Amino acid sequence: MKIKNILSPAVVTTSLKSTTKEGVISELLDLLVSAKLVTDRDAVLSALMDRERKMSTGIQHGVAIPHGKTAAVKNLVACIGIKKDGVDFASLDGEPSRIFIMTLSPLDRVGPHVQFLAEVSMVIKTEEARERLLNAKTAQEVLAVFGI
């Protein structure tokens, strides 16, 4: 699993507008729908929100990784959004989330999802990488942080 095979400028935004968890998830999902990577928006939104109700996907250091499994994708898909002001995502450290990396994977596949998250985690674990993401003005600048 290579990040560069999953992410492209079409699925990256540096200007999320929503101020709620639900709104951010919906905006991120719209990126995947616009890129024609999701076949059933409503089913995916339902899966993502069900996952959030079980346990927040806000981790720490201003990062949230909303994710879900769904029949509406054939392969792992992902997108990235930045919201400089931050949104309360009920993160483990209590801080607002500002970097959002959403992944969706097919119901019957586990490996690619775990591998993708491992690769992403290696990048975002450093404060320097997170700062570069927050300062990115374009999708290309975001992708460059991931070596794309």
User: Is-catalytic flag, 113?
Assistant: no
What pTM does this model have?
0.95
pLDDT digits (tens, 9 = 90+) for 52-91: 999 989 999 999 999 999 999 999 999 999 999 999 999 9
CA atoms within 13 A on the CB side of 88: 3
What domains sit in the chain, N to C, each tagged with a CATH number? 3-145 (3.40.930.10)
pLDDT digits (tens, 9 = 90+) for 122-144: 999 999 999 999 999 999 999 99
Give the SS3 label for residue 85: strand
> Which residue out of 16, 24, 67, 87 is catalytically annotated?
67
